[in-house]
Amino acid sequence: MTTITEPPRYLETVRKLLAKAEDPGCTSDEAQALTERAAGIMAKYGITRALLGATEPQADKPSSKIIECWNPFARVDAQMLCGLAAALRCQPILLPSRESQRVHVFG
pLDDT of residue 53: 60
- The span from the CA of 91 to the CA of 87, in Å, is 10
| Banded pLDDT at 92 (limits 50, 70, 90) | very high
CA distances from 21 to 36, 58, 76 (A): 10, 19, 28
For CA atoms 50, 54, 56, 57, the dihedral sign is positive
Average pLDDT score over the chain: 80
Pair 31, 71: CB distance under 8 Å: no
Of residues 17 and 60, more confidence is placed in 17
Model-level pTM? 0.48
Nearest to 67 by CA among 35, 102, 93: 102
pLDDT of residue 103: 92
